[in-house]
Amino acid sequence: MPDEGANIQKELNPLANAERQFDEAAARLNLPEGLKEVIKRPRRATIVSLPVHMDDGSIRVFTGYRVQHSIVRGPAKGGIRYHPQVTLAEVSALAAWMTWKCAVVNIPFGGGKGGIACDPDRLSRGELERLTRRYAADLSDLFGPESDVPAPDVNTNDQVMAWIVDTYSMHERRTEYAVVTGKPLEVGGSAGRREATGRGVLLCVREACAHLKLPLRDARVAVQGFGNVGSVAADLMARDGAKIVAVSDVTGAIHDPAGLDVPALLAHVAKQRGVAGFPGARPLTGSIIEHDCDILVPAALENQITPENAPRVKARIVAEGANGPTTPDADKLLERKGIMVIPDILCNSGGVTVSYFEWVQNRMGLYWPEHEVNQRLEEIMVPAFRDVLAKSVEHGVSLRVAAFMVAIERVVKVIMLRGLYA
């Protein structure tokens, strides 16, 4: 008898999921086995032990990771996550997704990801800074504008990036901003970076609506997660005339069939630190994933759309703001229902695209106004969406498989031109 618990665990394992998505797309490209293996495996994985002086005088040792999945198309690019459940497997999966994400939008980066197993809520600001600096110092051989460029991820932010700039710069004996992206504006950050991922979600949704002939004006949208990605996506879609009928975050879920007043909700969240209790909306008792809407934007965590709830998803478009919100089996169920899933590696790639602009601006020493950043973002994301859609139509496959096919082909093309030093 199959072990159901083991199957569920496997379905929720990000590395297994990333490999399954890769295998399905690679199988359609008739790549030689050896080459497939070369591009599937992470190029380099580093584990470091990080001693930190704690405020109470004790010493604690944390474990940090950095995985460079690929540097074939350019420096490894990808965030650093602080979370108690960070593991090498999780970081490896996230690093691989970064390779495919950068290739799908055709920016000159490979893929990487880092993390430290820690609970930042239980660390003081001083402890967090010492931990960050020790991590940056230990990995400063790997990091660098030409080799490996980190960014924020879950529980890290622009302050953490500023500490990394400073640590790296002290070791290099000169200021080097281009070593990380997602920095504060005053420390070499880019205009438009904070909004970039949500803006990219909007650009993809516009394209998807045009393809499905579903007007975005008055379309009903449900957004899971009202943080950086979800709140900006909701705000921009509302400005395009969509009705944001439901949103959720860790504090709860609310809905209004007539459409929420998003600017008022943003002000409420800034004050109350959550969507719960927003006046003028009713609490949502059911699952936001199953809410009656035209467009569903999962923008919180991995594994939110599962085989259990996928049959009850009502949206016509699922725009994956989060990384890995749909499990592979759930993906198949959505596909069978005719729901268009805009895959994470395309849908949330606005963030890494503007990170690329930040890196370019740092290296030029010339900074663009926000309207120029937004214009350039559109010039990258709209063709990327169209490339993926064309591949999906040509091969009769989902947008996810098509996005992986586009990305893998781009990586393989560079390997073929450069040749393998093997």
Residue ranges that bind ligand NAD, judged by CB under 6 A: 154, 197, 224-230, 248-250, 299-301, 321-323, 348, 351
Strand pairing class (317-319; 76-83): unpaired
Largest CA distance in the chain: 64
265 near 242, Cβ under 8 Å? no
119 near 85, Cβ under 8 Å? no
Our CB check for ligand NAD shows the closer of 207 and 397 to be 207
The minimum distance between CB 29 and ligand NAD, in angstroms, equals: 26
Is 113 an annotated catalytic residue? Answer: yes
Name, in order, each residue with C-beta under 8 angstroms of 143's C-beta and a sequence gap of 6 or more.
136, 149, 150, 164, 168, 179, 180
Residue 70 pairs with which residues in a beta bridge?
Answer: 111
The minimum distance between CB 339 and ligand NAD, in angstroms, equals: 20
Written as one letter, the residue type at 165 is: V
Which residue sits closest to ligand NAD, CB atoms considered?
227
Our CB check for ligand NAD shows the closer of 210 and 267 to be 267
Where is 358: in which H helix or E strand? helix 350-364
The minimum distance between CB 391 and ligand NAD, in angstroms, equals: 22
Our CB check for ligand NAD shows the closer of 63 and 157 to be 157
> Phi and psi at residue 219, in whole multiples of 5°?
-65, 145
Burial 8-20 (b: 16+ CB within 10 A, else e): beebebbbbbbbb
The minimum distance between CB 152 and ligand NAD, in angstroms, equals: 7
Our CB check for ligand NAD shows the closer of 148 and 344 to be 344
* 3-class SS shares of the chain: helix, strand, coil, % to 5: 50, 15, 35
Written as one letter, the residue type at 118 is: C
Length of the chain: 422
The minimum distance between CB 360 and ligand NAD, in angstroms, equals: 17
Name, in order, each residue with C-beta under 8 angstroms of 67's C-beta and a sequence gap of 6 or more.
42, 44, 45, 46, 88, 91, 92, 94, 95, 112, 113, 114
Our CB check for ligand NAD shows the closer of 12 and 54 to be 12
Where is 223: in which H helix or E strand? strand 220-224
Our CB check for ligand NAD shows the closer of 53 and 227 to be 227
Instruction: Give the active site residue among 77, 113, 183, 391.
Output: 113
169 near 93, Cβ under 8 Å? no
52 near 127, Cβ under 8 Å? yes
Whole-number Å distance between alpha carbons of 410 and 268: 44
Our CB check for ligand NAD shows the closer of 189 and 321 to be 321
The minimum distance between CB 197 and ligand NAD, in angstroms, equals: 4
The minimum distance between CB 154 and ligand NAD, in angstroms, equals: 6
Residues designated catalytic: 113
